[in-house]
Structure 1
């Protein structure tokens, strides 16, 4: 199974972002992008790739331990950015230090199964859209595409959604095919609640 671990924003937070991003879709730059399916919007903590089903029980045990050791925290979707000319994303504010610690704990736990996560540092974000293939693009076209992506990101700069509680850790299956990827939660665990 193709799997990743994520935090899922609530419906209200997703709708706020849908409303903020709607004007961008109709722009010339926005029409050239492949927009991710709203029903699958998530904050990826670790991409695990293809894992054999026989590893699932041990993976679930490890993720349950991670969830039990990390508390729920407050977040909001806010701002926007881009990874070069490839990805347009919405940012995250709030207790991002807790989200980063949770992501690191997930990466350490899955390493026990021999799973290597991506080599880039964790950057809290929600992917909105991706560019098409840049294969064969000339340098000037790539520069123009990056500028267009940057302009879309700047349009989201003032966006601030409502605050919400990240209270669950999700193991998600990704199925690819025609159209946007489809995501199904395999299992979720509540994050710990500690009395102040």
Structure 2
């Protein structure tokens, strides 16, 4: 039997994922914060882990490093409602095997955990990113460069901290709606 560690600060989502993995025959451990997740991983040594990017004050990115230090063979998938290119790249560099945007099904998570290689035949987006999405991606990149520090990021972007916080609360759509010109 395989063991999985599920880490998300959303208790409802965590419960749904836990039930779904249990029904599929997995041994499941779960945590709502990084410290509990790391303690659980050190006790039970999971084969796989599914981590949320934002864990309250904690970062799923930092948890990737800690999990790999404790259990080098653990296959990690980052699952987030705040997907960005910058955090996807960092998650993969830190050792995640895949990065999924919420909502994702359990079947998609399992497929991501089983995937060993990249897919050169992956579909390309038909449209370029919207201006809002490009701004979001740039903010995420600068935020990652400043270790998640909102004040330092705001200074680097020459933006008021509250304005940056408002922008971070909004998630732009990946592509603009089609318009007939």
TM bin (shorter chain): under 0.3
TM-score by length of 2: 0.26
Q: Which has the higher helix share?
A: 2
TM-score by length of 1: 0.25
Work out which structure has the larger RCO, using CA pairs closer than 8 Å and 6 or more positions apart in sequence: 1
